[in-house]
Amino acid sequence: MSTTNVLAVLLLTFTVSWVAFARRRAPHRYPPGPKGLPVLGNLFDVPTDDGWLVFREWSRRYGSDVVHAEALGKHIVVMNTLKAAKDLFEDRPSIYSDKDQPVMFLELCGWWRAWLMLPYGDSWRMHRKLFHQSFRPQAVSQYRPQQVVAQRKLLQLMLDKPEGYSENLRFAIGSSILNAVFAFEATPGDRRIKLVEEAAQAAQHVVHAGVFLVDVFPILKHLPTWFPGAGFKRRAVVHKELVEKMFKIPYFEYKSAFNKGTAQPCFTGKLLSDADGEDTSERDDLFMNLAGTAYAAGTDTTYGVMMVFVLAMLLYPETASAAQKELDCVVGPDRLPGLADQDSLPQVIAILREVLRWHTPLPLATPHRAMSDDHYEGCYIPEGSIVLQNIWAITHDENTYPDPDSFSPRRFLTLDGKLRDDVPFPDAVFGFGRRVCPGRYFTMDSMFLLMAGILATFNIEPALDEHGVPIEVRAEFEHHLLSPPKPFRAVFKPRSEDARRLIQSCA
């Protein structure tokens, strides 16, 4: 028998004994869920794709807001309604503010640097405090010049490369965050923006692969890379190198300019300026992880939202037309819309809200971890459980949003075109409790500027095939952790010659 097979047999034997022991000592009533197999539990029921759809179907099948699965002794609890999510994450933050700590993803692949994934405790609080100082509602206005520049860059790129809208969006979003965090002026093809895209893709592949054996048996992380069956270690080495580059390259590039006195003010500059004590590697890690997380976390999710916006405007041109009429009336043809116009543009705000609700780019929130035993609605949630928020199910609750699968910004508007107070903003997309997205104010401002700028100056039309026939586009989305639309073709055309001249004059 090979070394690999011996190792597998030993691990399986240990797993059988461990799970059997755990079940004998804990005869509790868990939230409802599918019946599992002996030893393996629900290992083959827990989805790696479309989890948000599967968990909502379980919720309906079992008539429960909260559902449960167990695989190899690990409990998974999913909140499928706003009430359940708030009851746990907002009313019981001392239990549910921790994050799950998968060994493969965080430790071996290097994503421990993303401070949003830190375990709940003093280190997380310190990171959160430093980040919040620069991204709280009263502070984000300092980044508006960079966000306005990103809006203008995007519109000029759409004018120059109307079919390259996807790359244009990624660049505009990445350059805006890069400028706010590091004060770098990016150009298309910037390696630092490309690193974020490559790291995000690598992360998707790891998450999509499911649970690694090392996550169940952390001792396996000590295996040498050459050991039979340690392919996960070799994969992690390549992944970690990419993550380290993404965090380190822009930080040390900025720090070098800061030490020479040539750096421009930005988020990282404030961290360095306000720092006390010696310049140590520990301090570098703290600042690097804060800056890199802002840079990485904001880019991919905002890009996903903007891709949903483009898809929706392509599929529902009458919605775009209504917003354009409002923009023409409020803003006029001589300037681009700005953040000061938000209160006067309810149609645009309604589109932004509906884009977030219709298909959030992160349908399942990143896993939390129960820090102690708990009971909810008479059901037991054991310490160490993975606890998930099904954001997609919450934003598709027909009791709150009738006909939830339809894209309809009008659900947020009164008959006379004002924003309704009785239809809630889909803030579930930013999470709950102490782990709510700390960059949400910056993100909302950026998305408004980009959406309003596009609607004011462009019509989004289907691309044509070789016979001049419009290519059909459908609302289809990726099935992974991040769920942007599947690739589709579209063309951005200036609404008028006045719009073209306005874009060129603002470049």
Could you tell me which residues are annotated as the binding site for heme?
Answer: 437
Strand 458-462 with 490-494, pairing: antiparallel
CA pair distance 367, 77, nearest whole angstrom: 10
Q: Would you say 152 and 507 are in contact if contact means Cβ atoms under 8 Å apart?
A: yes
Q: Would you say 430 and 439 are in contact if contact means Cβ atoms under 8 Å apart?
A: no
C-alpha 9, offset from chain centre: 38
Q: Would you say 488 and 311 are in contact if contact means Cβ atoms under 8 Å apart?
A: yes
CA pair distance 98, 105, nearest whole angstrom: 16
- Residue 206 belongs to what H/E stretch? helix 191-208
CA pair distance 315, 301, nearest whole angstrom: 21
Which residues are documented as binding site? 437
CA pair distance 87, 90, nearest whole angstrom: 6
C-alpha 167, offset from chain centre: 18
Cα 174–Cα 179–Cα 180 angle in degrees, nearest 5 = 100
Q: Which residues contact 193 (CB under 8 A, 6 or more apart)?
A: 170, 171, 174, 175, 178, 186, 299
When computed from its CA atoms, the radius of gyration of the chain, rounded to whole angstroms, is 24
Q: How far is CA 90 from CA 101, 231, 332, in A?
A: 21, 40, 43
Which candidate, 73, 72, 69, 36, places its Cα nearest to that of 55? Answer: 69
Which candidate, 232, 201, 196, places its Cα nearest to that of 103? Answer: 232
